[in-house]
Structure 1
Amino acid sequence: MASSVGVDDYALTRVPATARYSWWSVAVQRFGQVSALSQFLLGATLGFGMDFWDAFLALTLGAVILEIVAIFVGVIGVREGLSTSMLARWTGFGRAGSALIGLVIGISLIGWFGIQSAVSAQGLVALVGGLPEWAWALVFGLIVTAIVLRGFHSMAWTAYVTVPAFLILVGWSITSELARHDLGGLVSSAPAGPQLSLLQGTTLVAGGFIVGAVITPDMTRFNRSVGDVVKQTLVGITVGEYVIGLSGVLLAHAVRTADITTIVTSSVGWVGILVIIAGTVKINDWNLYSSGLGVVNFVGTVFGKHVHRGVATAVIGVVGSVLAAVGILDRFTDFLILLGVAFPPIAGIMVAEYFVVRRWRDALDSARAAGTVPESAPNWVPATIAIWLAAALVGRFVEWGLPSVNSLVVAFALYVVAGKLGLVRGVGTRRTSDAEPVPAGQHS
């Protein structure tokens, strides 16, 4: 029954070598995430408050931060073949901590899934009409849900279609608008809106994709080598930030607004609406995919039940689509942004445990050699929970520097110190097989 809903996609097991993909297949999806509509909006926001070269520097600094995070956690993902929330069990958090991570990922990304569905619905009303906005939100959300049900393979083919379409449409939009202006004048022109500092701009860039960087293992577990992870990250994030981000900067200088809808529809009309839709599909399928993985891990850990990923995805997709249709998610944006403070410390702790402290590294190495997951995991790691909370509070309330970087670095440093002092200890142990199968599962 469960398999008829969709593929499980190794939600709680390692992705075997036979199910891995070429670096290009994964890179297109990574690029699709970073070159989505949200990146266009980020560029427009920078261009509205910064001159061109300051925005260029902000994009550069932000991209470097994101690449470092994505590469380190991505390497863990490709080596272990496990999702982010599953990896957390043996990278410092234990079973209970990984359940919390799964819940945070699930709530955060389903929220953004609904918000993106609502954004596309607005475009569909303007482009096609016929249905009210709430109905288009349902239609769009359910279409994306159908794509994600079929797993990574289906999402790869979606990327092959939507990413080129988005780039072509954006290119048309940019060319049509910039042809009316002197490019040199736009580069040297002053921003139209209130001034943004370099620190504020870099914070926007790094914070805008930090969640995507932290959950990189959900994607890189399908890679074949560490080199593939590095290549796809450098290409995907660098090109996405510069091509789409700087395009948004220039268009904000040309149109003198940060309103993305106005920018992309000002000169090309309905093509601009297609830009919005194509640019939303590719990031929204990953919102739903990672949300499903997080919920599967949460349910398996807390309730001891193995929920098929396809079933979880279907339920979450319907719920997110309905929430988008009734407009309730608009009120949760601030909450979701606040929730985002919890993500950077996760990466700091995982990297510190896997590469430096290595408290549970031997268990992962032994299980990997056998193609399984470790037979048991600690229930709680109290030191980790304390570090996670402390680092998140630093990111939320310390105004100096970049919040996401502050919380990540603090989490990394505190965990390493705690590890050296012998404070990183698990409380209680539970066999992995008590809740889910240990061997690598069937793909469907």
Structure 2
Amino acid sequence: MNGTAPDGDADDYALSRVPEHARHSWVSVAVQRFGQVSSFQQFLVGAVLGFGMEFTDAVIAITIGSVMLEVITILLGIAGVREGLSTSLLARWSGFGRKGSALVGLLMALSLAGWFGVQNGVFAQGMHDLAGWAPEWAWALAGGALVTAVTVHGFRVMAWTAWLTVPAFLLLAAWSVADTLAGHSLSGLMTSAPPGPSMSLAEGTTLVSGAFILGAIMTPDMTRFNRRPSDVVKQTLISVTLGEYLIGLTAVLLAHAARTSDIVGIITSSSGLLGTLILATAILKINDWNLYSSSLGLVNSLDVLFGRRAGRRTVTLVIGAAGTALSAAGIAGHFPDFLEAIGVLAPPVAGIIIAEYFVVRRFRADLDRARRDGVLPGECADWMPLSLVCWAAGAAAGEYLDAGIPSINSVAVAFLGYAIAGRVAVGHRTPPALPQSLARPDVKRTGG
């Protein structure tokens, strides 16, 4: 990773703007977004909801959680498509400063690399249970190598992969779901009592929003390849709504029918080969984005902290190899508690970026000028103290505030704190307007 590493089309514009000629149709981006929100994770969330909630309450929980996150996703996505910048790079001129953006990049890299290892471990365990002819570590090596190979080649190859895996996953899962629900009355399942311990509406909504907040924050990594803001709105409304409702509510019904929250067991039990294909397509179409966004975050951090323009492909190989090795060794299975602990730091990032970009707008003039020239804005300060304070306040609200939804509380506190304090600070720095007689050069001044 040297100081002359490439950037541009060969490296997916990791440290520069995505130019207009490299943008993709909204459908091409949407299929990848839909792949993120229609994965096994949505099945898992829906099954947990169905195990503890009636169908109507699950609908309400999914509605509240997903609508709030759709707003966050759309706003971040619009910033991404306008500027053509990844989340961590955008953060430099959206409230965090150079070194603050490096912290954002490290948080994204660590969190998503960890989930890459965890998901790869789930894939290995599932494939071993289904196929049985190879040990888990072998499946982990195979799965990690495949996802890394796809991700190394960047957005274009990931798009083609999504066109294959997303329809395959949906068709295979639909077959398995139909087989499981056969013999059950749909109206009966929709009115039946939950089979497990009761879950409150607040708990259900928290589960829905918490499962998707990291995906919302990494939205600019994807939408920087869109062509216009309206593309972001369309793909978000379609993919998030269908992903949350279609997949989530199907899993609610499955949990009621099978009387269990073990959605993996339900889906994969219908057929050994069918279950194997479902698991393989489900993991591939979500884990490539975990690895991709992780590499973008680390590339930005290395650039800021060490002045090293590391190639995204090289970074992807390193992270992919490390995550694969950890999952093969069985260590990644111990990560979720740690990842959930550092996960409280993620939501405030969204609130601060949105507040700076759309409300305070301290850097918008620089961004607009640089965007017209197709370059990055000039260097900004290393640290923005206000963002650090709001980041800490948002994390504390998400962790310790009892009322409301933790992830939404976190975003809201960070957003409001930065927006209010930022607007006050900008107002104080704006010089007062000159009197009209002094502002007009054609009016002669009189007196002393």
Q: Deviation per CA, 1:156-197, whole angstroms, max 9, x where unpaired?
A: 001000000000011001100111211111111111111111
The one of 360, 364, 367 aligned to 2:363: 360
If you compute each CA radius of gyration, which structure gives the higher value, 1 or 2? 2
Which runs of structure 2 are paired with 1:41-440 in the superposition (5 Å)? Answer: 41-422=44-425
| Residues 285-329 of structure 1 deviation map (CA, whole Å, 9 limit, x = unaligned) | 000000000000010000001000000000000000001111112
Q: Distance in 1 between matches of 2:277 and 2:156?
A: 24
Aligned equivalents of 1:196 and 1:272: distance in 2? Answer: 29
Structure 2: runs of 5+ lacking an equivalent: 430-448
Matched residue of 2:18: which SS? coil
Classify the secondary structure of the residue corresponding to 2:313: helix
1:23 counterpart = 2:55: no
Task: Give the partner amino acid of 2:57.
Answer: D
Q: Take 2:56 and 2:147, find their aligned partners in 1: how far apart are those partners?
A: 37
Q: CA deviation at 1:425?
A: 11
Match of 2:437 in 1: none
Aligned length, in residue pairs: 425
CA drift of 1:416 comes to 1.3
C-alpha deviation, 1:369, in angstroms: 0.6
Aligned to 1:429: none
Q: CA RMSD in A?
A: 1.7
Cross-structure match for 2:37: 34
Q: Secondary structure at the match of 2:81?
A: helix
Say which is worse superposed, 393-402 or 178-187, in terms of deviation.
178-187
Any gaps of 5 or more consecutive residues in structure 1?
A: 427-444
Q: Deviations over 1:66-97 (max 9, x none)?
A: 11000000000000000000000000000111
Contact kept, 8 Å, 2:147 with 2:288, in 1: the verdict is yes
Distance of 2:423 and 2:407 partners within structure 1? 25
Question: Cα 1:78–1:317, aligned 2, differ >3 Å: closer, same or farther?
Answer: same
Q: Distance between the aligned counterparts of 1:377 and 1:154, measured in 2?
A: 34
**Please, which moves more after superposition, 230-239 or 267-276?**
267-276
Alpha-carbon contact 2:118-2:335 (below 8 Å) kept: no
Letter in 2 for 1:340: G
Query: Following the alignment from structure 2 to structure 1, what is the Cα–Cα distance between the partners of residues 375 and 395?
Result: 33
With structure 1 as the length reference, what TM-score do the two structures score?
0.93
Deviation at 1:124, TM superposition (A): 1.7
CA spacing shift, 1:355–1:3, aligned 2, 3 Å: closer
Percent pairwise identity: 57
Equivalent in the alignment of 2:446:
none
Cα offset, 1:330, TM superposition = 1.7
* In structure 1, distance between residues paired with 2:428 and 2:46: 44
Do 2:131 and 2:272's aligned partners in 1 also have CA atoms closer than 8 Å?
no
Question: 2:88·2:297 contact (CA, 8 Å) conserved in 1?
Answer: yes
Deviation at 1:3, TM superposition (A): 6.7
- Equivalent in the alignment of 1:433: none
Q: Which moved more, 1:117-126 or 1:102-111?
A: 117-126
Deviations 1:186-212 (A, max 9, x none): 111111111111111111111101000
Q: Distance in 2 between the 1:13 and 1:238 partners?
A: 31
CA deviation map 1:361-416 (0-9, x unaligned) = 11111100100001212111011111101110110111110001101011111001
Q: Return the letter of the residue paired with 1:180.
A: G
Match of 1:439 in 2: none
